Amino acid sequence: MENVASNLGSLQAGLAAVGAGLSAVGAGIGIGLIGAAALQSMARQPEMKGAIQTLMFIAAALVEGVSLFAIVLAIVFKG
Amino acid sequence: MSVPTQSIGDFLLEHVANGFHWKSPFWSFDLSPLHFQIAGITFNITLDFLMIGLAVILCLVILIPASRRHNLMPTSRFAHAIEATVLFLRDDVVVQFMGEKLAVRWTPFALTLFFFILALNLIGLIPFLHSASGNISVTGTMAILIFILFNVMGMWHNGVMRYLKAIAPGGLPLPMMLMMYPMELVSMVSKSMTLAIRLFANMAAGHFIVFSLLGLMALMHSYAWGLFSVPLAVAMYGFDIFVAFLQAYIFTLLSMLFIGSAIHQEH
């Protein structure tokens, strides 16, 4: 019985790691899209570079915030 | 290095956690006898307390003389760097979110925030010193400060009732309003929370990565792994310096955005 319990513990830690990885995938896709769109618009209108950069950082920070929540939850529930 | 009883995750967490011992290969100070009392509350001096004090002293020692010298043109390379940072923050961050009129009042606050967080982040990267911004209590305190500040400033500039009413977008039917209002309140709290978690997680993660890469040598019981892990750790360290600047900038940017949007509410 103790064996099962310890196995469940390591399963929980493994699942937490998988969750952290999935959140990294989500944030990677999101920030990648933001970066691509910002580069494109900067290439089209170089004179708007400053404004676009600020907006890019805001959007990237918001996306990052969601995935950081997920990572903190993974740390909390790693068991 | 031996990792007898702890799991590797706990060992990693202990590496960035706050504590009463300042350890390095060359010294080990016990900080627990250092404490003082104000109004019956005991304040312990911990490692992060020391690092925050160091950051404050660094900011004062470097930035006050830099601001005292009233040259029309900055002469040294360092003065150029400081002036470029200050101008960038004023023109691209504060003016953009606060408007020309309020920018005069808010630029000092934004600059204080930026340079203080930058000092905390960079102090954490110096070997044997400790990263106070890798502690959720420190970043959480700053985020609570921003949360109180943008609510109070919104009420100050718009009036309490008008501020509270305009939290949810106006002109909605009542059932919609009942649904939207709690959601807006939750988003208000959670955006302050992400402010704290973002800074904490970025700084802590930088230390984790460098530590794990170097720890590969201990884990595999072989210095040959150093050929792989040391160059990677150096590269990650360089990236961490960039992240230290970026996160200080993002914290300042987002707090100015929150305060600005609370002052200039949409109706």
pLDDT tens profile B184-199: 888 889 889 889 988 9
| CA distance between the termini of chain B | 61
Q: What is the pTM of this model?
A: 0.85
Residue A77 has pLDDT above 70, yes or no: yes
Tell me: pLDDT of B9 over 70. Answer: no
Phi first, then psi, for residue B29 (nearest 5°) are -100, 140
C-alpha B150/C-alpha B138 separation (Å) is 19
What are the chain A neighbours of B198 within 8 Å (beta carbons)?
Answer: 61, 64-65, 68
Indicate the Cα dihedral angle B207, B211, B214, B215, nearest 10°: -170
Encoding tokens for residue B255? Answer: 């707090």
A50, A54, A69 ranked by CB distance to B194: nearest: A69
Rounded distance between C-alpha atoms, residue A66 and residue B197, angstroms: 10
Q: In terms of CA atoms, which chain B residue is nearest residue A71?
A: B201
Give the pLDDT score at A79.
62
Residues of A in contact with B257 (CB under 8 A): 58
Task: Give B22's strand partners.
Answer: B29
Average pLDDT, chain B: 84
pLDDT in tens, B85-103: 888 888 888 988 888 888 8
Residue B264: left (phi > 0), alpha (psi -120 to 50), or beta?
beta
Distance CA B86, CA B80 (A): 10
Nearest CA in chain A to B12: A75
Rg (CA), chain A: 19
- Identify which of A54, A68, A78 has the shortest CB distance to residue B201: A68
CB pairs under 8 A between A and B: 33
Averaged over B1-28, what is the pLDDT? 68
Residues of B whose CB is below 8 A from A62: 194
- Nearest Cα of chain B lies from the Cα of A46 at a distance, in angstroms, of 16
pLDDT in tens, B212-241: 888 888 777 888 888 888 999 999 999 899
Chain A residue with Cα closest to B251 = A61
Give phi and psi for B234, each to the nearest 5: -65, -40
Tens of pLDDT, residue by residue over B161-175, are 888 888 877 777 888
Query: If interface means Cβ-Cβ distance under 8 Å, which residues of chain B face chain A?
Result: 9, 92-93, 96, 191, 194, 197-198, 201, 249-250, 253-254, 257
Distance CA B197, CA B154 (A): 24
Count the alpha carbons within 13 Å of B154 in the hemisphere toward its beta carbon: 26
How many CA atoms lie within 13 Å of B247's alpha carbon, on the beta-carbon side? Answer: 31
- Those residues whose C-beta lies under 8 Å from the C-beta of residue B79, and which sit 6 or more positions away, are B66, B69, B71
Chain B partners of A64 at a C-beta cutoff of 8 Å?
A: 198
Residue A63, both tokens: 């996306």
Measure CB to CB from residue B198 to each of A54, A64, A78 and give the nearest one: A64
User: How many other C-beta atoms lie within 10 A of the C-beta of residue B141?
Assistant: 12
Q: Residue A50 and residue B92: Cβ atoms within 8 Å?
A: yes
Predicted local distance difference test score (pLDDT) of residue A6? 67
Interface of A with B in 55-74 (CB under 8 A): 57-58, 61-62, 64-66, 68-69, 71-72
B198: closest CA of chain A, how far (Å):
6
Residues 6+ apart with CB under 8 A from B210: B233, B236, B237, B240
* Phi and psi at residue B90, to the nearest 5°: -65, -50
Nearest to B179 by CA among B168, B190, B166, B165: B168
Assess: ipTM above 0.85: no
Is residue A78 within 8 angstroms of chain B, CB to CB? Answer: yes
- What's the CA gap between A27 and A72, in Å, rounded? 14
pLDDT at residue B1 in the model: 45
Please give the Cα distance from B165 to B116 (Å, whole number): 35
If DSSP codes are grouped into helix, strand and coil, which group holds residue B30?
Answer: strand
Is the pLDDT at A46 greater than 50, yes or no? yes
Residue A2 pLDDT exceeds 70? no
Q: Are strands B41-44 and B35-38 parallel, antiparallel or unpaired?
A: antiparallel
Best residue in B135, B136, B254 to probe A by mutation, most A CBs within 10 Å? B254
Contacts A10 to B, Cβ<8 Å: none
Instruction: Find the helix or strand (DSSP H, E) in which B41 lies.
Output: strand B41-44
B151: which residues sit within 8 A by CB, 6+ positions away? Answer: B163, B262
